[in-house]
Structure 1
């Protein structure tokens, strides 16, 4: 039976869990796994563009756009792992690979996204400190309703219905934010990141408008970027949306802050591949530098430990996770209706 949780023991809960995970060898690097995964993803990416050139001026290109949206998101997952230094041991190697996969590969600024994502990990679902729950377009808590724009309040009335349509713009938002970041004097690697973003967009638009007539090219871009945004959003939404929103009044230790604001999604190998293994979100937030293939092995250890110390551990199916997230958004907007 676990000891009662007191202010004196809570801080050591995570330390005991770290010992269990370390003894199981789950923080060890997986270089062979990542070498294979990166090769497959980049091979698929280059192959999809070769297919694009081969198909030529045909409306079948819209299916190629769908394929590229899936592969682009998978590249995003690999870039995410690089940001947490799951792939390479050193920061320099992680940054070099990150700007190649992110900026050059899919047109997403490595430095800007990595900084934003690390702030999310430090304070998940905190309405003042987590950039992923800032009230920009979607409003995540009723306390935020009075601190938003008129447009955000208009959307908030029916934001559960707006959520998926808005995701079609998510990729464009990420591209624009990435470009804006390189013009800030405080941005790191401004020259490198800006140059790689420029090369990406020149090659991307140049190839598309060279191979396809204007109308077909525009349709291809819309389908690719819209589905890219939807896939990204649908991969990250189940992790925290609909989970408790923290405020300055909440005083939680590291373990509880990470576990109580995160949700796991079950579903087997297919779900693991579909969601880039981010469906083990609780384990990922507790051990962000743990290689992705080890998260599945860490799950039973973490879940059992949370049961021992009396910490709620939420795991649900993919559809149920969306239902919980949309239900939360609908509840937040209720006062405006």
Structure 2
């Protein structure tokens, strides 16, 4: 058989024949149809409850900040609640609605085509970089920009550059400013800074929509709400800033756990044009990671704690992933495919081991010699040029 993109090296999964892949894929598809055909009013009630929580928690937290934010315990409580509200709006409401998971309700306010969330990224940019690029080419190096976000190295298939020596601090500040990085992801700033294949003029032109969105978000959180708070402007400003950072740190941790764990595989582009649906299913499983936890943890993660099931069924209401997960896990056991699942802390720890590992080149000794020789050559050339004078 041809070697499709869903077969990579260093896998814990057993090799499957084409027939086995297609057989497994058919069972996954049957499970998808079974769950999608059973969607009902309980699923509708669930998403409306989530939306109500977002609305009322935001009202309550902003009210506390505006009227009593100068009291330290109230500020802490209000800021934490606003952070949670923003997390749930992004993860369990916005992300899932923009995948079209609730289009079947025919509610314009919960339709994937029109929903735009409370974050720096525009809905349209997100749906292109995430819904289309990432979910189509999941973990294929050179096609899925989520493999390192153009900033960090998380795969031995990524060409090593000296800047990746800063992999760990770069990853830490990626988490801190995750909202902003997601907002500008489609602009591919690494093409300007690292590769010089794009100009800042092009970036400015391409950024018209995201500039408008960022302006709106900045005015809302850092001008409008502090302004109407009057004498409590500073606590409101600080609370909004802290809540946004809380959301960035949590959202990035969830995303890292779903994609960058040690057992999450990356793939090459070979034969991707001939990949079947079943092979695509298998790649989603092998390139994703789940983490276990209580119900509240699943809700706060937008049910991306079931990242494997989300990658298999991105348009399935996320509250159904818990139903699909044990069946997918059983299928993986039947076919000898690694089902990457562990506790949150264990998965997150493995992420940082991987990030640290890939800060060095695959053959770090050879690369060190190469760059030392290159630096020596440049120094000699500079000295020779100086000696002419």
Tell me the TM-score normalised to structure 2 length: 0.71
Q: Which moved more, 1:173-182 or 1:16-25?
A: 173-182
Corresponding residue of 1:82: 97
Offset from partner CA, 1:265-288 (integer Å, 9 cap, x none)? 112323212322111111111111
1:84-103 equivalences in 2 (<5 Å): 84-89=99-104, 94-95=111-112, 98-99=115-116, 102=117
**CA RMSD in angstroms, aligned pairs only:** 3.3
Give the C-alpha shift of residue 88 in structure 1: 2.1
Corresponding residue of 1:276: 302
1:305 aligns with 2:316: no
Aligned with 1:331 (options 339, 349, 357): 357
CA distance in 2, matches of 1:15, 1:310: 16
CA distance in 2, matches of 1:80, 1:228: 13
Corresponding residue of 1:50: 63
Corresponding residue of 2:266: 245
Structure with max Cα Rg? 2
CA 1:256–1:272 in 2, change beyond 3 Å: closer, same or farther? same
Corresponding residue of 2:141: 127
CA distance in 2, matches of 1:12, 1:245: 23
Corresponding residue of 2:122: 109
CA distance in 2, matches of 1:94, 1:254: 26
Give the C-alpha shift of residue 198 in structure 1: 4.6
Give the C-alpha shift of residue 208 in structure 1: 1.8
Give the C-alpha shift of residue 213 in structure 1: 6.4
Corresponding residue of 1:173: 181
Corresponding residue of 1:294: 320
CA distance in 2, matches of 1:131, 1:17: 26
Q: Structure 1: any 5+ residue segments left out of the alignment?
A: none
Aligned with 1:40 (options 44, 49, 53): 53
SS in 2 for 1:115: helix
CA 1:69–1:264 in 2, change beyond 3 Å: closer, same or farther? same
Kept in 2: contact 1:73–1:231 (CA 8 A): yes
Give the C-alpha shift of residue 23 in structure 1: 3.1
1:156-305 equivalences in 2 (<5 Å): 156=167, 159=168, 162-175=170-183, 198-205=215-222, 206-211=224-229, 216=235, 219-242=238-261, 243-249=264-270, 253-305=279-331
Kept in 2: contact 1:145–1:153 (CA 8 A): no
Tell me the TM-score normalised to structure 1 length: 0.81
